[in-house]
Amino acid sequence: ADYVKALKLWREASYVVPPTADADAVSTKCLALNNCAQVALKLGNNAACLAMCDDILAMEAGNVKALDRRGCAAHKLGPKELPRLESAQRDLAAAVDAAAQSSVTPAFVA
- Read off the pLDDT of residues 29-62 as tens digits, 9 standing for 90 and up: 899 899 999 999 999 999 999 999 999 999 898 8
Whether the full predicted model's pTM is greater than 0.85, yes or no, is no
Reference 43, options 20, 88, 92, 10; nearest CA is 10
Any idea what the Cα angle at residue 3 is, between residues 94 and 29, rounded to 5°? 50
Any idea what the Cα angle at residue 105 is, between residues 101 and 106, rounded to 5°? 110
In sequence order, the 6+-apart residues with CB closer than 8 A to the CB of 4 are 43
Any idea what the Cα angle at residue 1 is, between residues 8 and 78, rounded to 5°? 75
**pLDDT tens for each residue of 48-97:** 999 999 999 998 988 989 988 988 888 888 777 667 777 777 777 887 88
- 77 neighbors 46 (Cβ within 8 angstroms): yes
